[in-house]
Amino acid sequence: MSWGLAVLSALVVVAGIAFVGWALDPHQAEPGPLRSVREDPAVEVTRGEDVVVVSPTGEPSGIGVVFYSGARVEADAYVAPWAPVVAATGVTVVLPDLRLNLALLDSARAEDVVSQAPQVRTWYLGGHSMGGAFAAQHVGAGDTTTEWEGLVLWGSYAVAAADLSDRDDLRVLSVAGDRDGVLPLEEIEDRRPNLPADALTVTVEGMNHAQFGAYGEQAGDEEPTLTDAEAHQALAEVTADFLDP
C-alpha cells in the first residue's frame, strides 16, 4: 500500500470514529420537563428498551403518532411537548430510539414500532427537523407496511423527492417557528410546494428550533421571544386541533 493511500485510509477511519462519537453524544431531555410529565395523572410514559410510549390514562382515541427526533436528539426530549397533546386528545405517541440518533440511518424505523400500541387504529408519522424530513420521505416512498393517515412535521419539511405534492390521500400538518435559526422559516416556506396542496401550515411567532423539543439550547438557533412553556402550549394547541378526532 502506498503512503498516500495509507494516509487516506487512516483519515477515513478517524473521520468515521469522530462521526460515530458525534452522533452518540446527543442532546438529552431536560430532566425538569420530563419529571413534570411523569407526575401528570393524565398521561403515562413507558420507557422500553428502544422506544418511549406516551399514552393517555383515560380513553384512548384510537389515533397514534410515531415521531422521529431531530438529528442528535434523544427520543425522550419530545415527551414534554407531546404530553399535553396526548392529554387533550387521547392520542398515543411512540418515540423510537433511532440508529446513531439520526433518522437518515433509520427512516423505516416506524414500521417496527407500531406494534408497541395495539390500541391504535389510525397512524400518523412525523418528526422534528431531520426526523420530519425522513418521515416524509418514508411515507412518500410507498413501500410501507403501515397505512399512514398523514404526517406531522415540526420545524421540518419534505424534499421534492418525497413526491408528496400530488397526494390527496394524506392529512399533513407543518408547524414552523419564526425564530428558528437552524431551519429558518424561509427555507420551510420555499419547500412548501413539496407538500400536498391542502396541507395545514402554521407559524408560531416567537418560537425557535430547539423549542420543538425539550433539550435545551441548540447551536445556531435564534433567541426565542416565547418561554419554553409558552412555545409548547402553542405547539400543543395547533397539533391537538389537527389530531383531535
Examine the pLDDT at 126 and tell me if it is beyond 60.
Answer: yes
How would you class 17 by CB atoms within 10 Å of its CB: exposed for 0-12, middle for 13-18, buried for 19 or more?
exposed
| Strands ordered across the beta sheet of 171-177 | 43-47, 51-56, 92-96, 63-68, 122-128, 148-154, 171-177, 200-204
- The predicted pLDDT at position 129 comes to 98
- The predicted pLDDT at position 35 comes to 96
Residue (of 6, 109, 38) closest to 67 by Cα position: 109
CB 174 within 8 A of CB 153: yes
Q: Is the dihedral of CA 203, 209, 211, 214 positive or negative?
A: positive
Whole-structure pTM value: 0.90
- The predicted pLDDT at position 73 comes to 98
Quick: pLDDT tens for 61-107: 999 999 999 999 999 999 999 999 999 999 999 999 999 999 999 99
- The predicted pLDDT at position 11 comes to 37
Quick: pLDDT tens for 148-199: 999 999 999 999 999 999 999 999 999 999 999 999 999 999 999 999 999 9
Quick: pLDDT tens for 6-19: 444 433 333 333 33
CB 170 within 8 A of CB 164: yes
- The predicted pLDDT at position 7 comes to 42
- The predicted pLDDT at position 26 comes to 83
Quick: pLDDT tens for 28-38: 999 999 999 99
Examine the pLDDT at 204 and tell me if it is beyond 80.
Answer: yes
CATH superfamily of 28-243: Alpha/Beta hydrolase fold, catalytic domain (3.40.50.1820)
> pLDDT band at residue 143, thresholds of 50, 70 and 90?
confident
- The predicted pLDDT at position 103 comes to 96
Give 188's contacts (C-beta < 8 A, 6+ positions apart): 155, 156, 157, 174, 176, 180
- The predicted pLDDT at position 25 comes to 76
